[in-house]
Amino acid sequence: MEPILTAVIPVVIIGIICAAVLVIASKLMAVKEDERFPVIRECLPGANCGACGFAGCDGYAKALCENSNTPTNLCVPGADAVSRQLSEILGVEFADVIEQVAVVHCNGDCSKTQDKVEYHGMESCAAAKLMYGGKGSCTYGCLGLGDCAAACPQDAICIENGIAHVDPRKCIGCGICTKTCPNKLISLVADVEKVVVTCSNKDKGALTRKVCSNGCIGCKKCERVCPMGAIKVTDNVAVIDYEKCTDCTDFGVCAKNCTTGCIVITELSGKHRIKQDN
Amino acid sequence: MIKLIIILLSAVFINNYVLSRFLGICPFLGVSKKLDSATGMSLAVIFVMLIATAVTWPIQMYLLNPNGLGYLQTIVFILVIAALVQLVEIVLKRYVPSLHKSLGVYLPLITTNCAVLGVTILNIDEGYTFVEAMVNSLGSGLGFFLAMVMFSGVRSTIEGSDIPKSFQGLPITLIAASITSLSFLGFGGVIENLFA
């Protein structure tokens, strides 16, 4: 016999035997899948964003099937509609989803800060960050090369005047951008909030002042004026504790009193809320 | 009996698959971040190494060698091990769901791992009998387990320490791995003389 045949035939035969055994085994020993699984999976948006904390939509659907304690309101992109469907299928009480919107904690656009070098490298924030912390004079701020915009599944982020802007009307709150930003500038904020800090510079006030006119200098004025005690300057940058920042008696006082204007009043109620109101 | 003990101990310490032979580096670096995933992975490796040897040794000795097909060893072993692990996964899923859950994703992950293939091929190359081959596989699996558990400890220490920026991440992990493997060099020559 041809030597090639003596080599190929045994391997093919072994392969066929293995395949046959596997087919028989998988037929005989098939484990019954929970019949609710495909129904639940169908409800979920299928973005596989991981905002629920499980490995993709399949993971969340599986957890819902297997563990009755899994909350039905974890799907942020799907919002209340999905939560309602899920609670109907599983026969549990409807739980409101806290809709979230991504917020960029930097407002140092071209008019407020300057480039320290001319950057001609790869058009990616992660690459630019490796070169002495990016081209801007502030190494904490937005690099403006749009890694977040490229990662956004909804095209909700655009780069304007050198910094990223999130359009809350398009943002589904999946949080993918928060993981891509090399400076960790983007965070998810509940879409009912009205004030945000738009700076992340952790340098001392004088240094911050030098590089950006929008930067938080850590003067703690906001700490003093906040009637709810919700603002705290940590690492030379103001941080709002949104759990305390509710029913403010003197709304917007922090933004009005901010020395550099890095605390701003914004409208975050986006996609989800608009859909609900209609 | 003494020969079996020597095979077992030298597979664990002297010819440690990860740290001396440098096989199975991918799971060694990839899954050693946390202790529980490192243990899960190693248990799956021990399990697969044992069943792979139990199947491939007879195939080599009774099927390939008598027909002069010894040169098909590598491809046949890959084929058989891959099919076998799939089969074991199906069986476990049906009859031992708890074990299937704890081995979880690691079982299919190591289907084509070089450490598993390496064990089965080296068993043949060393001319071991069936029992010796099984003992060698057990030792190799235990050696993998030891390396994984040790290294997950090293890595958790690294995580909490202040590392120069240029060494953060993979570089420091590789350096730590090489220092860990240096420590295993010290076992050379110890085991043979234990029973002398």
DSSP 3-state assignment of A195?
strand
Does B68 reside within a domain?
yes
Question: Pairing relation of β-strands A263-265 and A195-197?
Answer: antiparallel
- Give the relative orientation of helices B35-58 and B130-159 as an angle to the nearest 10 degrees: 160
Mutation target to probe the A interface, by most A beta carbons within 10 A, among B37, B60, B72, B73 is: B72
pLDDT tens sequence across B40-83: 888 888 888 999 999 999 999 998 888 888 888 899 999 988 88
Question: Do residues A111 and A177 share a domain?
Answer: yes
- Phi and psi based region of residue B113 (left: phi greater than 0; alpha: psi -120 to 50; beta: remaining): beta
Does A21 reside within a domain?
no
Question: Do residues A128 and A232 share a domain?
Answer: yes
d(CA B99, CA B97): 5
Q: Closest to A22 (Cβ–Cβ): which among B72, B76, B86?
A: B86
Number of domains in chain B: 1
Does A7 reside within a domain?
no
Q: What is the pLDDT, as a whole number, of residue A255?
A: 87
Is A5 part of the contact surface with chain B (CB cutoff 8 Å)? no
User: Helix (H) and strand (E) counts for chain A?
Assistant: 11, 8
Does A114 reside within a domain?
yes
Does A85 reside within a domain?
yes
pLDDT at B168 over 70: yes
For residue A166, give the CATH number of its domain. Answer: 3.30.70.20
Triad A197, A200, A204: Cα angle to 5°: 115
Question: Do residues A169 and A264 share a domain?
Answer: yes
Question: Do residues A192 and A136 share a domain?
Answer: yes
Distance (Å) from the C-alpha of residue B147 to the closest C-alpha of chain A?
A: 28
Does B49 reside within a domain?
yes
The ranges of chain A with pLDDT < 70 are: 1, 32-34, 270-278
Percent of chain B at pLDDT > 90 equals: 21
Does A29 reside within a domain?
no
Does B88 reside within a domain?
yes
d(CA A123, CA A118): 13
For residue A78, give the CATH number of its domain. Answer: 1.10.15
Distance (Å) from the C-alpha of residue A182 to the closest C-alpha of chain B?
A: 15
Supply the range of the domain harboring residue A142.
100-270
Mean pLDDT of B105-132: 86
Kind plus residue range of the DSSP H or E element containing A233: strand A231-234
- Nearest Cα to Cα of residue A26 among B48, B83, B36: B83
Q: What is the pLDDT, as a whole number, of residue B47?
A: 86
Does B107 reside within a domain?
yes
* Contact in structure between A170 and A270 (CB atoms under 8 Å): yes
DSSP state of A136: B
Question: Do residues A41 and A138 share a domain?
Answer: no
Is A1 part of the contact surface with chain B (CB cutoff 8 Å)? no
Does A9 reside within a domain?
no
pLDDT at B196 over 70: no
Does B134 reside within a domain?
yes
Question: Do residues A200 and A86 share a domain?
Answer: no
Domain-terminating residue out of A57, A90, A123:
A90
Mutation target to probe the B interface, by most B beta carbons within 10 A, among A13, A27, A29 is: A29
Number of domains in chain A: 2
d(CA A144, CA A21): 56
- Nearest Cα to Cα of residue A99 among A189, A195, A166: A189
Contact B69 A7 (CB under 8 A): yes
pLDDT at B38 over 80: yes
CA dihedral A82, A88, A90, A94 (to 10 degrees): 70
Mutation target to probe the B interface, by most B beta carbons within 10 A, among A12, A17, A18 is: A18
Q: Closest to B87 (Cβ–Cβ): which among A7, A25, A31?
A: A25
pTM greater than 0.95 (yes/no): no
Supply the range of the domain harboring residue B37.
21-179
d(CA A124, CA A142): 12
Question: Do residues A153 and A202 share a domain?
Answer: yes
Kind plus residue range of the DSSP H or E element containing A6: helix A3-28
Is A19 part of the contact surface with chain B (CB cutoff 8 Å)? yes
Mean pLDDT of B16-33: 84
Percent of chain B at pLDDT > 70 equals: 98
Does A6 reside within a domain?
no
Question: Do residues A147 and A204 share a domain?
Answer: yes
pLDDT at B104 over 80: no
